[in-house]
């Protein structure tokens, strides 16, 4: 199968490219490198079935040229991270809305299947759970920038479903619940890589809010497996699917686990939302997926234990981050961090 991945140099996109290539598909990755990085796909560039294109989904000509030569498009390109969205609201709206419009227009023009990546953010402040695909969306005021991401991704879903209903375009929509794994960066506010980096560098671990809010973190390997299976399954067309691991963990407990596994001396510091983001920032207290529809359609759902995923992430950063600065004379010194393999053995 000939696959086009928009946002193909991003965190999830690069892992998806690996999985598709591993099963024998041909992959073209399109990315403007605004948040993705060439290093994420550097190891794939020697594969004759892989092609990397620096370009933008906002450019209809580029998208048309690539769309004409693929069988299916995985549309992952979007503004990512709460911090980036708050800092760049206009660009985020344009990327999410116009980018998806271009992809759907060209997919319809050439009759190509589309898998659209959406987000659990579309549920907004609905803290009831587990959330199923038809659960109500509870969105805050338009004066709170935080909600523009949820709103634009919901509009993306509406567009995709409209193309399916009116034009019979084969589309599948997936809502990711906090996908994590190696190569994810904490640069745009993603909590797991941010905590891990802070712990390994001996910096304070900064929790936004009171830390009692809970999330369900999904291993990127599970996410990619579900995405590929849904793209292959005709029964998924015209439908929306949650992709997430059902195990909840509080952000406070996440910080403690990171400190324990890394043997870090980092203190935990609590920062009010308005200092971390913007005045009036709102967050959801709980976000848990119902994955019954996913299981009924493809026969499985994410299940990799979070502790296993966290250890892989820590091991990845252990090999890439610089060592923390040595303490000054007279300061308390904790035992040194173990080598990644030794650290995993110590806790496992």
Q: What is the CATH number of the domain that holds 223?
A: 3.40.50.720
Identify whether 208 is part of a domain: no
Structural tokens at position 314? 């820590």
Q: Is residue 283 part of a domain?
A: no
User: What average pLDDT does range 80-101 have in this prediction?
Assistant: 89
How far apart, in whole angstroms, are the C-alpha atoms of residue 87 and residue 307? 32
Residue 326 maps to a domain:
no
Whether residue 191 lies inside any domain: the answer is: no
| Chain segment 282-303, per-residue pLDDT in tens | 888 899 999 999 999 999 999 9
Q: Which two tokens stand for residue 28?
A: 């073209």
Strand partners, 268: 205
Q: Which of 260, 267, 266 is nearest to 338 (CA)?
A: 260
Cα gap 30→315, rounded to integer Å: 29
Annotate 187-244 with three-state secondary structure: CCCCHHHHHHHHHHCCCCEEEECCCCCEECCEEHHHHHHHHHHHHHCHHHCCEEEEEC
Whole-model pTM? 0.89
**DSSP letters along 25-59, please?**
-EEEEEE-SSS--GGGTGGGTT-TTEEEEE--TT-
Total domains, the chain: 1
Tens digit of each residue's pLDDT (9 = 90 or more) over 198-257: 999 999 999 999 999 999 999 999 999 999 999 999 999 999 999 999 999 999 999 999
* Cα dist from 1 to 43, 212, 228, 291, whole Å: 21, 45, 12, 27
Q: Is residue 318 part of a domain?
A: no
* pLDDT value for 324: 55
Please check whether residue 122 lies inside any domain of the structure: yes
Please state, in angstroms and as integers, the Cα–Cα distance from residue 152 to each residue in 58, 115, 248, 287, 302, following that order. 15, 17, 26, 19, 26
Averaged confidence pLDDT in the chain: 91
- Reported as a single tens digit per residue, the pLDDT across 9-55 is 999 999 999 999 999 999 999 999 998 999 999 999 999 999 999 99
Of the pLDDT bands very low, low, confident and very high (cuts 50, 70, 90), residue 327 is very low
Rounded Cα–Cα distance for residues 304 and 226 (Å): 12
Dist CA 101 CA 163 (whole Å)? 10
> What pLDDT, on a 0 to 100 scale, did the predictor assign at position 330?
44
Tell me the catalytic residues: 149
Contact (CB, 8 A) for 116 and 171? yes
pLDDT at residue 284, rounded to an integer: 84
Report the pLDDT averaged over residues 312-335.
65
- CA dihedral angle for residue 152, residue 125, residue 225, residue 15, rounded to 10 degrees: 60
pLDDT of residue 319: 87
Nearest 10 degrees: Cα torsion 60, 66, 69, 70: -100
Tokens at 215, concatenated: 């999330």
pLDDT at residue 186 in the model:
74
Report yes or no on 263 lying in a domain: no
211: tokens are 């830390």
Which band of pLDDT confidence, cut at 50, 70 and 90, is reported for residue 188?
low
Q: Which domain holds residue 62?
A: 2-180+218-246+288-298
Which of 90, 144, 1 is CA-nearest to residue 16?
1
Could you tell me whether strands 113-119 and 2-6 are parallel, antiparallel, or unpaired per DSSP bridges? Answer: unpaired
Q: What is the pLDDT of residue 189?
A: 67
Task: Tell me the C-alpha to C-alpha distance, in Å, between residue 222 and each of 200, 226, 229, 287, 290.
Answer: 26, 6, 11, 18, 15
Q: Is the residue at 203 inside a domain? A: no
């Amino acid at each position: 199968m000939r696959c086009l991945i928009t946002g193909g140099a991003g965190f999830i996109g690069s892992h998806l490219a690996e999985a598709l290539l591993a099963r024998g598909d041909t992959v073209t990755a399109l990315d403007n490198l605004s948040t993705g990085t060439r290093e994420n796909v550097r190891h794939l560039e020697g594969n004759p079935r892989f092609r990397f294109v620096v370009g933008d989904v906002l450019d209809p000509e580029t998208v048309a040229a690539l769309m004409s030569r693929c069988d299916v498009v995985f549309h992952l390109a979007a503004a990512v991270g709460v911090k980036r969205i708050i800092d760049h609201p206009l660009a985020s709206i344009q990327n999410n809305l116009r980018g998806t419009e271009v992809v759907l227009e060209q997919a319809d023009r050439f009759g190509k299947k589309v898998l659209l990546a959406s987000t659990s953010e579309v549920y907004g402040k609905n803290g009831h759970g587990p959330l199923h695909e038809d659960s109500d969306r509870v969105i805050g005021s338009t004066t709170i920038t935080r909600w523009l991401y949820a709103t634009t991704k919901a509009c993306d879903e509406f567009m995709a479903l409209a193309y399916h209903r009116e034009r019979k375009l084969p589309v599948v929509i997936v809502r990711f619940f906090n996908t994590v794994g190696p190569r994810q960066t904490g640069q745009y506010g993603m909590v797991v890589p941010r905590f891990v980096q802070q712990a390994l560098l001996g910096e304070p671990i900064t929790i936004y809010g009171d830390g009692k809010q809970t999330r369900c973190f999904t291993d990127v390997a599970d996410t990619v497996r579900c995405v590929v299976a849904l793209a292959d399954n005709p029964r998924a067309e015209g439908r929306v699917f949650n992709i997430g691991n059902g195990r909840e963990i509080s952000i406070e407990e996440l910080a403690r686990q990171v400190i324990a596994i890394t043997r870090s001396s980092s203190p935990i510091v609590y920062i009010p939302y308005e200092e971390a983001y913007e005045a009036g920032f709102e967050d959801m207290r709980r976000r848990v997926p119902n994955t019954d529809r996913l299981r009924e359609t493809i026969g499985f759902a994410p299940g990799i234990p979070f502790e296993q995923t966290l250890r892989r992430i820590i091991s990845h950063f252990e090999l890439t981050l610089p060592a923390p600065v040595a303490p000054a004379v007279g300061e308390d010194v904790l035992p040194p961090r173990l080598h990644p393999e030794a650290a995993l053995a110590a806790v496992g």
